[in-house]
Amino acid sequence: MPREFREAIGNRIYGCDDCLAVCPWNKFASLSNEAKFAARGEVNPPLAELLLLDDANFRKRFTKSPIKRIGRDRFLRNVLIAAGNSADGTLRPAIETLLDDRSALVRGAAVWALSRLLKSDLASFLQLRGHYLTLEQDDDVRSEWRLAETS
């Protein structure tokens, strides 16, 4: 996801709700009696909980949900963008664990999220950068580390 759009994403993780809310045809919709169309589970789970999802738990949690189609890595990228926009410093430990994730997409988003949460603690961010940048093999993630320092 291009850097210039990340802040504008705000706290949105998956866009179906936004589309449904603005769709002019939905003014004609009525609640369905069909059980398959009923809302399931928690509507707004805490970001901290979502940041901990491994692949198995992601699949289990979102079975028979359109969210499952995007996969765990892209879902976590979106959660990390929301976390970076949250200004919630309590998410830092969960985000830091994702700096070692198997997915470069997740690692890169974790770098961006931490750079946002640690704006006022540049020394901590640079310490993390010094450690992880030397270990990182993926060019896109390395680029996130480099760009984060200057943004």
Choose between 20 and 70: higher pLDDT.
Answer: 70
Name the pLDDT band for 30 (thresholds 50, 70, 90): confident
Confidence at residue 139, expressed as pLDDT on a 0 to 100 scale = 97
Domain housing 31? 3-150
Q: Are 106 and 80 in contact (CB under 8 A)?
A: yes
Mean per-residue pLDDT, 123-129: 93
Instruction: Write down the mean pLDDT value for the chain.
Output: 89
Segment 127-148 shows an average pLDDT of: 95
- pLDDT value of position 56: 96
Number of domains observed in the structure of the chain: 1
Helices 71-86 and 104-117, packing angle to 10 deg: 10
Whole-model pTM over 0.75 = yes
Helix, strand, coil share of the chain (percent; to 5) = 70, 0, 30
Contacts 24+ apart (CB under 8 A), 50-55: 50/13, 50/75, 50/76, 50/79, 51/76, 51/79, 51/80, 51/83, 51/91, 51/94, 51/95, 51/97, 51/98, 52/94
What would the two tokens of residue 65 be? 């949900």
Average pLDDT, stretch 73-100?
96
Segment 109-113 mean pLDDT: 97
**pLDDT grade for 39, boundaries at 50, 70 and 90:** low
Q: Percent of the chain having pLDDT more than 90?
A: 64
Specify the residue for token string 């890595």. Answer: 73
pLDDT higher than 60, residue 70: yes
